[in-house]
Structure 1
Amino acid sequence: MDVNSMVAGYHDLLVQIRRDLHRIPEVGYTEEKTSAYVAAYLEKEGLLVTTGIARYGVVGLLKSGRPGPTLLIRADMDALPIQEETGHDFASTHSGVMHACGHDAHMAMALVTATVMNKIKDRFCGNIKFVFQPAEEGPGGAAPMIQAGVLENPGVDYALACHIWPTIPEGSIGVRSGAMMAAMFRFDITIKGKGGHGAMPHQCVDALEVGCQVVGALQRIVSRHMDPLNPSVVTVGQFRAGRAFNVIPETATLSGTARTFDRTVWKSWPNRIETVVKGVCESMGAGYDITFEQGYPPTINDGNMSKIVAKAAANLVGPDRVLEPPPSMGGEDMAFFLEKVPGCFFCVGAGNSAFAGIHNPRFDFNEQVMKNGVATFCQAALDLLTQA
């Protein structure tokens, strides 16, 4: 029986799992109910299950019983602090929390992949590690799981993960070699001026005005210091200053993010940003404090693994439905796994004008697309783990 035929019979199970998990969303590092559900399912399937990794991480090990490589299939478990507005009868039962980024679907696809591959384990060699990771939305559970040893015993040779992707059409699979998602970086700045009466600016150091100059100067890092053929973004998303219309504020606080696909640029952000902030503040007589948080590295797909996934997908959905999505400036902590082993982070097309996009209180998708993710996982696993 071919993979599409095998997976077709699991549609109802996929939907049930997705909806079960959709009802109990939990933000990063609180995934107690979610991890218990995942562990119970994997144990029922007879996999060797380990729980409590990086707090709530779960690993299910499927052994074929024959020597061979080990493939890691990863799904993220956490939800977002968003109040759901879909009106579904399976909507979130946790106030203010929602699976608005498809992680419920990612878990459902990985769990059903475990079921399918368990039933046909006589058709491949080696092992499959199903890794369910907490806190992808932040602060990041991939690195702690790696530190806890999920890439060992047995050692992982390949890694796969997928994401529901509303920007490519339903029924398609998106595969991109090389840079897929950007490296993330956060900065927080406090401008220290001298407050006073709004009618007497000459007696003050206006922290609000200094902050405005800092925002403008930060934009020129990208426009005048970066190679225009190497995309980068600096965004100031928060700016707070002042409490009264006629008072010059003494302090201003700014927070923002910087994104790039280049690891060297990613590492250079602290020096670049502080040089700008220091120069502006000194020229205007202000002081400053600045802190940096280096987020996820760039998500880089291995070229050979991307070819394997694209070929597997083409056999399932047709070559005309295997697309190359543009790289995204969003961040993804699957990047940490891809730094360690060759792998591919692919997209399950869910584009449909009837549904809102990710990180939206009305986010949704056609549940039929999940079977494409499961089939791609299964076919790629067979191609990787079947000895010639």
Structure 2
Amino acid sequence: MDVIINTSENYRLDRLEACLEEIFSEMGGLEKFVKPGMKVAIKPNLLMAKKPEDAATTHPNIVHVIVKLVQKAGGIVSIVESPGGPYNIPLLKKVYSKTGMEEVADITGAELNFDLRVNKVDNPEALYLKSIQILKPLCEADLIINVAKLKTHGLMVYTGAVKNMFGSIAGLEKSDYHLRMSDNTRFAECLIDIFLATKPSLNIIDAIIGMEGDGPSAGVPKYIGGILASTDAFACDYAALKIIGVDYRKVPVLKLAEERGLFDKEKVNICGADISKLQPDSFDVPAIAREKKTNSLLSFGKFIKKSIHPLPVVTEEYCIGCGKCVVVCPPKAAKIDNNTMIIDYKKCISCFCCHEFCPEKAISIKRNLLGRLLRYRRV
């Protein structure tokens, strides 16, 4: 499982083109994957309508260069994504415009997907999701190129290549998965199952500027200066975690993939740029709650359980009462009262969707002293 890493100091098109051409050359040439007339779906991370400089989404210039190289190889390109929130044409237009994808399409002639249909897919390798509804344009593509963004994640520790394919699920159906798979382990297994249903042929991670802190949307842009690529998304994520100094076993998706025999770190061959030259001096990663080895703490009762459980908290002076948290909240624990978000903690499942999709960064994750001591640490 080769992972090719190359460096790029910035998002200039000429620099990106040279960087990606070198990567594809190391992989045997893009023509190895793209044949003339192939329908190629590029799946970026377009979490929400954020500007490229916010580092919450895949940079449009990386998508631009990949589109041009695929077209040069004879592929017919579409850009496909289901952002957070309702899956409808007005929202897609807003997201494509804000993230720079509309401009990419205008310049390159790539098609922006507005087909809202889904296809039912059998998923025999899945643990839970043996049958699943996937975006129709991804199902019909001859080749999927997964173009992720390196970021932290409040629930899953890190988001990269594997988790990016969660965007192959239409709109608010993603919230349903959060509700049905509300503990970290089951949700991570769900993400793996969804990835297995899509199986992109190429996985690329935009790690030129990643996101640390309260990702995947409210964190801080962090310069790293690299692009990673592999035919194996698990290996690609493993290499990205090595760059930011995170033990892969602290990331539920990688830990569980290893247990399922989908990933073996001993078979990962990292090629290209020296990882040590890309590693930042520090990278702030809010780590996932430790799995308790025993149930002894629960014997102390509901107070202890509540004290160690992380919760979303609204900062009222930042909240504008837009209601996006209400739309994306799986258990319907959020409401707007007097132009401010109110959370019903009896319903809250700590999926942090409200935190993830708040456009004003008005929602943080509460980590009280007891919770930090028992369940959290900084990596």
TM-score (norm 1): 0.25
Name the larger-Rg structure: 1
Higher relative contact order (CA 8 A, sep 6+): 1
TM-score (norm 2): 0.25
